[in-house]
Structure 1
Amino acid sequence: MADDAPATGSRAARVVEKATGISDLAATTTAAGTAAIARTQADDGTVTATAPKDAAGAVKITAPDGTTASLGLPQDHATHGTQAGDGTVVYPDAAKNTDIAVQLTDDGGARALTTLKNAQAPTQQRYELNLPQGTEAVANEDGGYDLVRKVTNDSPAVAVGAIDAPWAKDAGGNKVPTSYKLEGNTLIQQVNTTEETAFPVVADPKFTWGWVTGTVYFNKSETRKIANNGYMAATLIALGPWGWVGPSAATVSYWTWMANKAKNSRQCLKIKSTLKADKYKGGYCR
C-alpha cells in the first residue's frame, strides 16, 4: 500500500493537470502545518496562499494587510496531502469516489479541485467559506462571487477578492454544466453529469483574496443618493483607493440613470473600473 501511494498521487495529479493546465501554477515551498505555500508580490505587500497538510484543513490566502480568507475542502477523510505532477497537491480518495486537489496559482489565488472518478461520486460539493469580518460574497454576472468589503468607514464597498465562475470538464475535455449557490457560509457546487458523461470529471472553485479589483459596490442608501444627485457618485468614488480619474458629465448622467433603475427595482448600483454600471442584489445591498 505504501509503495502504491506515490503512483496514486501521480495519477490524481495527471487527471487534474490535464483539465487545468500548468502554465499558471505558482512556485511553492513547504512550511509547518501545510502541504504547500506560495508567496506572490503585490503592489502593497505579499499575498500568501497555502494548501493544508490534510483534506480536513482549509485552503487559505492571506492579504498584505494580514486578513485571511479560506475555503474548506469537501472531504470525508483527513487524507494526507502530497505534491505530485507539476506542483498540484493531491488528497486521493478524500471523499466517496472522489479525489481532492489544491493548486496555488501565480496570481496569488488558489484552486480547490474535485475529481469525480465515476458515476457513483457525489455531484454536489460543499466548501466552507470563511471570510474576514465585514466581508460579504456578492453574486456576479459571471456565475461566481465578488468578495466585497468597505475599505474605510466613509467609502462605498469594493471588491477585494473573488470566487471565479465555476467550471467542470469530463475526461475528453468537454464542458460539464455546473453552477454555484451560497447557503450561509457554505459554497455549494453542483455538477450535472449524465449517462453520457465521460469520467473522470474535474470541477473547480478558484478564489483570490487581497487584490482590489476596481469594482465599487453601493448600498441602497448610497444608490438613492446617486439617483437623486448623480455627482454624489463622483464624491463617493473619490473616497476609495482605486485611483479613478474624474468622470465626465456624460458618465455621471449614465450612472444616475442606472442608479434610478436599481432604486426602482429595489436593487443597488455597482460600477466597474471600465466605468460600466450595473444593478445587483444581496450581500452589501441593504
Structure 2
Amino acid sequence: MTSEPVSPRARLYRHLTVAAIACCVVAWSAVPASAIEPTSAINASEVATLVSDAAPDLIEPAPAVETGSSFEAGTLGTDTSIPVSPDDPIEVSTTVGGRELSASITLPEGLDLSRAEATDDGTVVYTSDNDASVAVQALETGDTRVHTVIPDPHATHEAEFGMDGFRAVVDTTGNAAFVQDGREGVAVPVDAPWATDASGAPVPTHYEVRGDRLVQIVSPTDATIYPIVADPTWGWRNATWGLTLTRSETANIKDYAGASSFCAALAKDKRLVLACGLWSGYLQVQAATANNLRPKGCLHIVVAPLPGAISHTYC
C-alpha cells in the first residue's frame, strides 16, 4: 500500500510545528534563576540562619531581651532598643566624642512585615509572607546591623532607611553616612553595602540617597540564586562629632590663606586644638577636592574623638 504524497505546503507546516515546539522546550529549559517562581514564606528561624551564614565576619549579635514593646540589647557602651512593631524605629543610645547621642533608625516601608520575633542567637526578625523579610542585630562591637532577606525575584530589591534629625550622604567612592542636621553634630558611618545569594556568591549592590534617606539597591544577575541576604551596618563605634561646613564655607577655603584663617577661627573657638600651619594645607586640599565634585560637596571636620580628620559630604 503506497502512502499519499505530501504536498510542499503540508511539509512546510510540519517543519514549522516541530520548530515551534523545539523553541518552546529550549525557552522553558533556559529560564534564568531570576525568573523562577516565588519561594514559600520564610520563618524567623530560617531568616536567622540565612543571615548567620551570609555575614562576612564572625561578629555575633548580643542577646536581645524582650521587655514587652521592644527587645533590649546592650553592647560596648551602646544600648539598642529594637521594636516589636515594624512601624516603630530602632532606638540607639551611645556616646560619641564624650557626648551622649540618642538616634533612631526607621525600618524599610512597604514590606508588610509581621511583629518581631527574637531567635536563639539574638537576631530580631520581622518576616513577610509575600516580600522581603528584615532581621536586626545589635552586634557585640556596639554596631547595628539591619539585614534584608529577599526570597525571590518578585520581592522588593530596594531597602530605604532613615534617621530622624539626620540626612544620608554618599561620597564619590560609595561610602555612606548619616550626618546630623545643623552645623555641629554627629556623623555616623554606614559600612560598605554587601549582598550574597544562596550559594554564597556576591550580588551587585550599592547605595543611593533619596531626599534625606539612604537606599540600598540589590541588582541580581541571571546567575543569582535566591534567597539573597543584603546588609547595611551602622558604625556607632566609628561615629564622630564635628562641624559640617556649608557650600559657601567650603568654596571659600580655596587657597592656603583661606584655610589658615578658618583654622585660626576654630582654634580661637577652642573646638579644635591643631597646628594650623600643617593642618591648613590638608584642609585646603580637601576643600579643593570637594569643590571639584559634581555635584559640589561640603566638608565635615571631626572635633572628637579624632580632631582634625575630614570627610566629604554632599550638601
Q: CA deviation at 1:96?
A: 2.3
Q: How far did 1:53 drift?
A: 0.6
Residue aligned with 2:114, SS: coil
Aligned mates of 1:102, 1:234 — CA distance in 2 = 41
Whether contact under 8 Å (2:299, 2:311) holds in the other structure is yes
Structure 2: runs of 5+ lacking an equivalent: 1-41
Q: Please tell me whether residue 126 in structure 1 is matched to residue 160 in structure 2.
A: yes
Contact 1:58 1:73 in 2 (8 A): no
Alignment of 1:268-283 (within 5 A): 268-271=298-301, 273=306, 279-282=312-315
Shift in Å, 1:280: 4.1
In structure 2, the residue matched to 1:73 is 108
**1:112 is paired with a residue of what secondary structure?**
strand
Identity %: 24
Q: 1:219-264: per-residue Cα shift (whole Å, max 9, x none)? A: 23332453342223433554576xx652362432232244345446
Contact kept in structure 2, 1:59 and 1:110, CA below 8 Å: no
Deviation at 1:60, TM superposition (A): 2.3
Aligned to 1:3: none
Question: 1:259 matched to which residue of 2?
Answer: 287
Out of 5, 23, 34, which is 2:59 matched to? Answer: 23
Show structure 1 runs of 5+ residues with no match: 1-6
Q: Distance in 2 between matches of 1:76 and 1:150?
A: 28
Residue 220 of structure 1 is matched in structure 2 by 247
Query: Partner residue of 1:143?
Result: 174
For 2:299, what is the secondary structure of its paired residue? Answer: strand
User: Which residue of structure 2 aligns with residue 249 of structure 1?
Assistant: 277
**Offset, 1:161:** 1.5
Report the alpha carbon displacement of residue 136 of structure 1 after superposing the two structures with TM: 2.7
How many angstroms does 1:112 deviate by? 1.7
Aligned-partner Cα distance in 2 for 1:279–1:121: 34
Q: Residues 44-80 of structure 1, C-alpha deviation per residue, up to 9 Å, x if partnerless?
A: xxx3212221333322223453532222234533412
TM-score of the two chains, using structure 1 as the length reference? 0.75
Kept in 2: contact 1:83–1:90 (CA 8 A): yes
Partners of 1:249 and 1:257 in 2: CA distance: 14
Report the AA paired with residue 206 of structure 1.
Answer: T
Report the Cα offset of residue 196 of structure 1: 0.8
Aligned to 2:23: none
Aligned to 1:200: 227
**What SS is found at the alignment partner of 1:119?**
coil
Superposed CA offset, 1:69-118 (max 9, x none): 222234533412111141111222x2624222111123333222111122
Aligned in 2, Cα 1:250/1:60: closer, same or farther, shift over 3 Å?
same
- Given residue 264 of structure 2, which amino acid in structure 1 is its aligned partner? T
Structure index of larger Rg: 2
* Aligned residue number for residue 49 of structure 1: 80
Kept in 1, the 8 Å contact 2:184–2:241? The answer is no
Taking a change above 3 Å as real, the CA distance of residues 196 and 79 of structure 1, as seen in their structure-2 partners, is same
Question: Any conservation in 1 of the 2:205–2:219 contact (CA below 8 Å)?
Answer: yes
Distance of aligned partners of 1:274 and 1:200 in 2 relative to their CA distance in 1, 3 Å threshold: farther
Higher helix share: 2
Q: Secondary structure at the match of 1:67?
A: strand
* 2:90 maps to 1:59: yes
The 2-side partners of 1:240 and 1:27 are apart by 41
Supply the distance in 1 between the matched residues of 2:133 and 2:181 (Cα, whole angstroms): 37
Query: If the length of structure 2 is used for normalisation, what is the TM-score?
Result: 0.69
SS for the counterpart of 2:43 is: helix
Aligned residue pairs total 261
CA distance in 1, matches of 2:312, 2:265: 17
SS of aligned partner of 1:10: helix
Q: Distance in 2 between matches of 1:26 and 1:181?
A: 29
Amino acid at match of 2:284: T
Contact conserved, 2:185 with 2:241, CA < 8 A, in 1? yes
Specify whether residues 199 and 183 from structure 1 end up closer, same or farther in structure 2 by C-alpha distance, changes over 3 A only: same
